[in-house]
Amino acid sequence: MNFNNLLVDLENGIAKVTINRPKKLNALNRDTLQELHEAFKTLEADEEVKVIILTGSGPKAFVAGADISEFANFSESEGEDLAAQGQEMVFDFIENLSKPVIAAVNGFALGGGLELAMACHFRIASHNARMGLPEVSLGVIPGYGGTQRLPQLVGKGRAMEMIMTAGMIDVEKALSYGLVNDVVSQEELLGHCEKLAGKISNNSPVAVSHAIKAVNAGFKNSNGYTAEIKGFGACFGTEDFTEGTTAFLEKRKADFPGR
């Protein structure tokens, strides 16, 4: 895959997507959002890919926000379309991807950058990372799911404070809030994420996909328990279930067909 704003690598079933606009601190413009959609759509269809790691290029930023120059003169309807298209094309798309996506937050994750990280299934941050939603300081609100995902992750009160103050938090606070799963040095970040990805890829891809869908259902306007029941039942009809249970009974390591 060749992109202008992304680098995509694949090794041992783990795909790494790097947003590559270091001079712009990896800010999200229209072209980058379109390329992210195309990259994730292609990786989801690639049977070789088991886990995806998303990060930013350079030592300073994961994604420092959206490219404000692109929408500074938008009308109300254009602003609404921008949010709707972005959510559908990238943020919701990543959240509902059937393959796990780990955000390796290697620096500033602000505005659309934090929203992008929150759309991933979980987040690992480097010590220098800083996170926040500064949109109200620009006279607007988060438009790529930030007002919804942040309360789900850190609680309503903390999310309200972060959004209304437009301030940044450091990784220690992000960890205590549950916004990130772990904090490591910048040098260890990708290796740590790759180790987690390797553990995930040892498991049934079909079961992991159903688990993502069931967990997400609990945060939507649907019954998560019903989704879990359906996903649980669906697993029984798969080759992965047959192999996993047979391997357990035979006291050996499972070799899942989907791996």
DSSP string, 42-102: HHHH-TT--EEEEEESTTTEEE--B-GGGTTT--HHHHHHHHHHHIIIIIHHHHT-SS-EE
Residue type, 110: L
Dump pLDDT digits (tens) for 137-192: 999 999 999 999 999 999 999 999 999 999 999 999 999 999 999 999 999 999 99
Per-residue model confidence (pLDDT) at position 80: 95
Q: Are 57 and 26 in contact (CB under 8 A)?
A: yes
CATH superfamily ID and name for 6-201? 2-enoyl-CoA Hydratase; Chain A, domain 1 (3.90.226.10)
Q: Are 126 and 174 in contact (CB under 8 A)?
A: no
Per-residue model confidence (pLDDT) at position 239: 94
Catalytic residue among 47, 135, 161, 250: 135
Per-residue model confidence (pLDDT) at position 259: 59
Is residue 115 flagged as an active site residue? yes
Per-residue model confidence (pLDDT) at position 181: 98
Domain regions of the chain by residue span: 6-201, 205-249
Per-residue model confidence (pLDDT) at position 258: 62
Catalytic residue among 78, 115, 188, 243: 115
Closest CA to 130 of 191, 61, 66: 61
Dihedral angle sign, alpha carbons of residues 93, 96, 100, 105: positive
Is residue 135 flagged as an active site residue? yes
- pTM metric for this prediction: 0.94
**Residues of the chain below pLDDT 50:** none
Per-residue model confidence (pLDDT) at position 222: 77
Per-residue model confidence (pLDDT) at position 221: 75
